[in-house]
Amino acid sequence: MSGHSKWATIRRKKEKVDAARGKVFTRLIRELVIAAREGGSNIDANPRLRTAVDGAKAANMPADNIERAIKKGAGELAGQTFEELTYEGYGPGGAALMMKVLTDNKNRTVGEIRHIFTKRNGSLAESGAVAWMFKKSGYLTLELSQGSEEEMMEVALDAGATDIQSDGEVWEIYTAPEDLFKVKTALEEKGKVVASAEISMIPDNTVKVEGSNASTLLRLLDDLEDHDDISQVFSNFDIDDSVIENLK
């Protein structure tokens, strides 16, 4: 899972920048809208919406904004209709990429994404070309200060987690998708503060990317994450820590 861990580390660095730019609210609102549209506005009966609400609260989004987005998604307010799509592609060095997209104009979005790939020596791929390299998984993070490895394992594994590891900055806990909230609840009942909880796509294997390809791949991923219509990016790369440290 090293490729996932490395990109997760980069995402945490970028989230601080995105928050300063105010861009994080745009993505969170779109996720609230689509989650409410797909599963209804009842948080207790809609795990995806519960995740979106938790993320919005963690980003200090005003309650009125959260409520408005949920009502919009549930059809209680007039507004834009968003379509949820998945795009796949290849980056420099042969890294596979998957992008979760929320858009109100599919033709515009795919054109812009194709341009980003071309600019960074990558290419969009047909549906299914790289999806088989990933598996859906629940993914939670907690600050290292929340407990020792033994303590985390005792709580999380007993609740159904499949793996626990640390990237040196946070505890990363993996679950079956359907067990994400069971594990999250178990941790919180023990007084642990869960920093993030989401359904992620974990690569079965990683691809080592080096040299100029590594730098260009990081710029590609950065451009994709900056696109307003892209809510999540997943990749199977493995890049040396020294390259990641130079991320701008």
Residues 220 and 128 placed together within one structural domain of the fold? yes
Residues 160 and 181 placed together within one structural domain of the fold? yes
What are the distances in angstroms from CA 165 to CA 41, 156, 158, 177?
A: 34, 11, 16, 18
* Tally of structural domains, the chain: 2
CB neighbours of residue 41 within 10 Å? 19
First-to-last alpha carbon distance for the chain, in angstroms, is 24
pLDDT category at 236 given cuts 50, 70, 90 is very high
Q: Which tens digits make up the pLDDT trace of 6-46? A: 667 777 766 665 565 566 787 788 888 888 888 889 988 88
What's the token pair of residue 80? 């834009």
Residues 196 and 95 placed together within one structural domain of the fold? no
Residues 140 and 184 placed together within one structural domain of the fold? yes
Task: Work out the burial of residue 193: count CB atoms within 10 Å of its CB; fewer than 13 is exposed, 13-18 middle, 19 or more buried.
Answer: exposed
Q: Which domain holds residue 111?
A: 83-132+206-245
Phi/psi at 72 (5° precision): -65, -45
Q: What is the pLDDT of residue 3?
A: 55
Residues 148 and 174 placed together within one structural domain of the fold? yes
- What CATH number is associated with residue 216? 3.30.70.980
Q: What is the pLDDT of residue 17?
A: 59
In a domain, 57, yes or no: no
In a domain, 7, yes or no: no
Q: Which tens digits make up the pLDDT trace of 204-233? A: 888 999 999 999 998 998 899 888 888 889
